[in-house]
């Protein structure tokens, strides 16, 4: 009696675990669900990307305004005022330069990571480059009238297949951290199609990437940290960082 | 552009494999309590290849004494091969001290595990043979719960559920999580007839079948080789989760590395040897999904991302220390890995989102497998973050090392 009921239970158990056949349906179902999850993720990504890009445009506009303001102030000082306010002007230029720096870093990230708003980013980069050159010009002008308390570096580079540019970029970032506002770097992406870039390249005899122009002199190829520090310190003797 | 597309592909594949896993999980959970009562007790020969296992082999043999199985149907064959410690003496002393269990001791010069197993196979008389490593210990009910599956004449081999002996230290604890997860996934792929390993944790196989295929020396992991050979003979391999054995795992990083290099190189060698299984209509699940995607591609993606992470860290560290960072290798790969690197991780919306999705999915799968296998200790959850972020990377580094060694073609014996 007990045996028979045991057998029954056993049979029941075996029935419960009857073999289920798995066919392509399983894989198609998984595919459909994955596509759904994936597209949700992609949509959120696109939303964030748009948000990010419009934020960048807004900030570029702010910098554009401040550059225009500097131009205006220079006009005023040159034409109407007898005293040329050097401290005031260089402070504004330094601030603009550091704003441009932050923008440059974010542009660099977005160039790599943005998928759909490439065109907008390109436009921002063009505006950025012309602002950068303008800022450099203003700085040179101020330098002429007031003398220099900062070293300006023009850095020509390209983002396409240039290992050395990556290295040189790292070196400059590092030096920027040491010298802070005493060093003003103007990185110019030569792939951005602006005629002013070509004019500058001609003027300073820049033929290969990366190239650095310090104090009118052009250096091509990677320049190490120590050599660059030496060149900068030649022009800024007596500051703490050079001792 | 290319890097973003690559990233999207990687994310999609990872999401897909996880979704597939999640879809299968309810079925696996339902089969967790599966039991097969043994209607008969066939004769079993247990082969124990032992190479320098003096410290554990006695314990292994002792655990066999406790087996709930008719002793006259059991036959134990210890094949000592070329040990330099006193494995042979330990075994002989043990054999003298016990009665009631048939234990044969064979000895041969060092020639690899596969040859040792073949020698044992020659002397085996049982209807079934079991392979047991000399560092693994069986539980009382292990055999009884496995033999029932052989009532189905299509079943060629039965594997069991392996756990870790007292995982107290960090490295065994992490492996413990890995083993829990692997027990779950083994049950899962066994439902698809895609189980491709019969490990030395007292896996049972039909002797006449193994006699036909034999243990081959071609690869470092004969347990995968023989499993695929069994599948090729149109037999099934099933998994008995209620039959438990315990194994000793490496306690040091070096030991783990050594073990994993053998496993992973063995996997790659088997993959090459049995490449005819891939995209073969005879093996719909194994050939079309489990081997090429769920195993090989998942490992490739995992090790690739780990490599990116490592290069990223090296780059940052050298920049910090030397001032000049120049790691040309990454750039020379002519593949801009910016979007995949961790420093850009927060900025790029796509990588952040895909990492988040994959992490959530993996976490759900882990919780399901923990619950299905009734893992009680809450302490194990403490190790989960380390498991996720460090152990996983470590395992991927081991895969990379193994792949390099395999490519360089260095011969290495078990």
Our CA-based measurement puts residue A48 at a distance from the nearest CA of chain B, in whole angstroms, of 6
* B191 interfaces chain A, CB cutoff of 8 Å: yes
pTM exceeds 0.90, yes or no:
no
Quote the CA–CA distance of B129 and B402 in Å, as a whole number: 31
- Which residue range(s) make up the domain with A207? 150-235
Quote the CA–CA distance of A96 and A119 in Å, as a whole number: 25
Q: For residue range B212-257, list pLDDT tens digits in order.
A: 998 988 889 999 999 999 999 999 999 999 999 999 999 999 999 9
pLDDT at B318: 64
CB contact under 8 A, A171 and B11: no
Interface test with A, best of B340, B347, B356 (most A CBs within 10 A): B347
> How many structural domains compose chain A?
2
Quote the CA–CA distance of A232 and B131 in Å, as a whole number: 73
Mean predicted confidence (pLDDT) in B156-167:
90
* A239 interfaces chain B, CB cutoff of 8 Å: no
- Residues on chain A touching B31 (C-beta within 8 angstroms): 17
pLDDT at B324: 46
Which of B177, B165, B376 has the alpha carbon at shortest distance from B251?
B165
Does a structural domain hold residue A3? no
- Tell me which range, A66-70, A71-75, A157-161, B126-130, is most confidently predicted by mean pLDDT: B126-130
Does a structural domain hold residue A1? no
* Residues 308-367 of chain B whose Cβ lies under 8 A from any Cβ of chain A: 319, 323-326, 328, 331-332, 334, 336, 338-339, 344, 347-351, 353-354, 357
Report the range of poorest mean pLDDT among A139-153, A217-231, B40-54: A139-153
Same structural domain, A92 and A128: yes
- Residues on chain B touching A109 (C-beta within 8 angstroms): 338, 344, 347-348
Q: Which residue of A has its CA nearest to B334?
A: A161
- Residues on chain A touching B36 (C-beta within 8 angstroms): 14
pLDDT at B119: 93
Are the CB atoms for B382 and B173 separated by under 8 Å?
A: no
Does a structural domain hold residue A241? no
Same structural domain, A17 and A102: yes
Does a structural domain hold residue A8? no
Mean predicted confidence (pLDDT) in B12-16:
91
Q: The domain that contains A103 carries what CATH number?
A: 1.20.58
Same structural domain, A96 and A25: yes
Instruction: List Cβ neighbours of B293 (8 Å cut-off, separation of 6 or more).
Output: B13, B17
Mean predicted confidence (pLDDT) in B350-360:
82
Same structural domain, A124 and A23: yes
pLDDT of A209 strictly over 80: yes
pLDDT of A134 strictly over 80: yes
Same structural domain, A108 and A185: no
pLDDT of A37 strictly over 90: yes
pLDDT of B335 strictly over 60: no
Does a structural domain hold residue A243? no
Mean predicted confidence (pLDDT) in B393-401:
93
Does a structural domain hold residue A81? yes
Same structural domain, A129 and A212: no
pLDDT of A109 strictly over 80: no
Which two structure tokens, joined as six digits, stand for A151?
A: 């070293």
| Residue B140 backbone phi and psi in degrees, to 5 | -55, -45
Q: The domain that contains A194 carries what CATH number?
A: 3.40.30.10
Select from A86, A115, A146 the last residue of a domain: A146
pLDDT at B332: 36
Mean predicted confidence (pLDDT) in A1-6:
44
Does a structural domain hold residue A240? no
Mean predicted confidence (pLDDT) in B297-318:
79
User: Mean pLDDT in chain B?
Assistant: 86
Q: For residue range A70-90, list pLDDT tens digits in order.
A: 888 878 877 766 666 777 777
Are the CB atoms for B334 and A160 separated by under 8 Å?
A: no
Same structural domain, A142 and A166: no
pLDDT at B336: 45
* A49 interfaces chain B, CB cutoff of 8 Å: yes
**Residue scoring higher pLDDT (B334 or A130):** A130
Interface test with B, best of A6, A19, A20, A22 (most B CBs within 10 A): A22
Which of B35, B413, B30, B164 has the alpha carbon at shortest distance from A10?
B35
pLDDT of A5 strictly over 70: no
Instruction: List Cβ neighbours of B77 (8 Å cut-off, separation of 6 or more).
Output: B45, B46, B47, B48, B103, B104, B106, B120, B123, B124
Our CA-based measurement puts residue B38 at a distance from the nearest CA of chain A, in whole angstroms, of 11
Same structural domain, A49 and A88: yes
Same structural domain, A135 and A175: no
Q: What percent of chain B has pLDDT over 70?
A: 90
Q: What percent of chain B has pLDDT over 90?
A: 54
pLDDT classification of A2: cutoffs 50, 70, 90: very low
Query: Would you give the DSSP letter of residue A227?
Result: H
pLDDT at B334: 33
Does a structural domain hold residue A109? yes
* A119 interfaces chain B, CB cutoff of 8 Å: no
Select from A101, A128, A146 the last residue of a domain: A146
Mean predicted confidence (pLDDT) in B376-398:
84
Are the CB atoms for A220 and A229 separated by under 8 Å?
A: no
Same structural domain, A191 and A117: no
pLDDT classification of A1: cutoffs 50, 70, 90: very low
Same structural domain, A204 and A137: no
Quote the CA–CA distance of A67 and A142 in Å, as a whole number: 14
Segment (H or E) for A219? strand A217-220
pLDDT at B357: 87
**Residue scoring higher pLDDT (A213 or B315):** A213
Quote the CA–CA distance of B227 and B196 in Å, as a whole number: 5
pLDDT of A12 strictly over 60: no
Report the range of poorest mean pLDDT among B26-30, B60-64, B157-161, B279-283: B26-30
Same structural domain, A138 and A156: no
pLDDT classification of B208: cutoffs 50, 70, 90: very high
CA–CA–CA angle B54, B51, B158 (5° rounding): 105
pLDDT of B326 strictly over 50: no
Cα B378 off chain centre by: 24
Are the CB atoms for B150 and B230 separated by under 8 Å?
A: no
Select from A146, A181, A210 the last residue of a domain: A146
pLDDT at A81: 65
CB contact under 8 A, A30 and B16: yes
Interface ipTM above 0.85: no
């Amino acid at each position: 009696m007990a045996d028979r009921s045991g057998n029954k239970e056993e049979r029941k158990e075996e029935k419960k675990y009857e073999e289920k056949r798995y066919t392509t349906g399983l894989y198609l179902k998984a595919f459909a669900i994955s596509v759904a999850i994936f597209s949700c993720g992609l949509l959120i990504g696109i939303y964030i990307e748009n948000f990010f890009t419009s934020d960048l445009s807004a900030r570029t506009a702010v910098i554009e305004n401040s550059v225009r303001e500097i131009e205006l102030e220079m006009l005023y000082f040159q034409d109407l005022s007898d005293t040329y306010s050097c401290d005031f002007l260089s402070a504004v230029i330094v601030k603009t330069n550091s704003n441009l720096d932050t923008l440059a870093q974010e542009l660099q990230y977005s160039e790599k990571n943005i998928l759909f708003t490439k065109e907008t980013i390109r436009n921002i980069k063009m505006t950025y480059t012309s602002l950068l050159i303008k800022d450099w010009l203003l700085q040179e002008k101020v330098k002429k009238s007031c003398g220099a308390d900062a070293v300006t570096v023009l850095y020509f580079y390209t983002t396409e297949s240039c290992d050395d540019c990556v290295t040189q970029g790292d070196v400059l970032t590092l030096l920027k951290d040491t010298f802070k506002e005493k060093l003003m770097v103007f990185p110019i992406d030569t792939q951005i199609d602006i005629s002013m870039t070509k004019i500058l390249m001609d003027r300073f005899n820049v033929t290969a990437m990366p190239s650095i122009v310090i104090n009118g002199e052009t250096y091509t190829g990677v320049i190490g940290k120590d050599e660059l520090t030496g060149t900068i310190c030649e022009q800024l003797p007596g500051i703490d960082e050079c001792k | 552009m290319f890097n973003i597309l690559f990233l999207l592909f990687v994310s999609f594949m990872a999401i897909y494999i996880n979704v597939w896993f999640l879809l299968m999980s309810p079925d696996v959970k339902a089969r967790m309590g599966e039991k097969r009562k043994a209607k008969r007790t066939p004769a079993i020969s247990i082969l124990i290849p032992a190479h320098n296992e003096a410290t554990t082999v006695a314990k292994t043999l002792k655990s066999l004494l406790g087996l709930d199985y008719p002793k006259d149907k059991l036959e134990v064959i210890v094949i000592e091969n070329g040990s330099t410690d006193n494995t042979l003496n330990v075994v002989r002393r043990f054999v003298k001290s016990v009665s009631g269990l048939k234990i044969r001791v064979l000895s041969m010069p060092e020639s690899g595990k596969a040859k040792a197993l073949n020698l044992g196979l020659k002397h085996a008389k049982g209807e079934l043979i079991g392979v047991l490593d000399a560092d693994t210990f069986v539980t009382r009910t292990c055999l009884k719960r496995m033999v029932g599956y052989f009532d189905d004449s299509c079943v060629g081999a039965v594997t069991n559920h392996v756990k870790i002996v007292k995982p107290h230290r960090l490295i065994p604890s992490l492996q413990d999580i890995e083993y829990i997860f692997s027990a779950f996934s083994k049950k899962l792929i066994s439902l698809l007839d895609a189980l491709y390993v019969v490990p030395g944790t007292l896996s049972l196989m039909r002797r006449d079948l193994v006699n036909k295929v034999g243990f081959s020396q071609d690869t470092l992991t004969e347990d995968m080789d023989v499993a695929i050979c069994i599948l090729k003979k149109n037999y099934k391999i099933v998994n008995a989760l209620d039959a438990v054995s315990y194994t000793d795992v490496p306690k040091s990083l070096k030991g783990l590395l050594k073990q994993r290099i053998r496993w992973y190189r063995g996997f790659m060698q088997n993959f090459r040897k049995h490449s005819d299984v891939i995209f073969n209509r005879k093996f719909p699940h194994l050939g079309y999904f489990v081997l090429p995607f769920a195993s090989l591609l998942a490992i490739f993606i995992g090790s690739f991302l780990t490599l990116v992470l490592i290069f990223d860290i090296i780059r940052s560290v050298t920049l910090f220390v030397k001032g000049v960072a120049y790691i040309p290798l990454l750039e020379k790969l002519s593949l801009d890995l910016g979007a995949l690197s961790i420093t850009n991780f927060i900025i790029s919306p796509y990588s952040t989102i895909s990492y988040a999705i994959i992490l959530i999915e993996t976490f759900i799968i882990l919780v399901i497998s923990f619950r299905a296998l009734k893992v009680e200790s809450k302490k194990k959850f403490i190790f989960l973050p380390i498991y996720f972020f460090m152990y996983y990377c470590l395992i991927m580094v081991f895969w990379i090392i193994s792949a390099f060694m395999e490519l360089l073609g260095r011969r290495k014996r078990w």
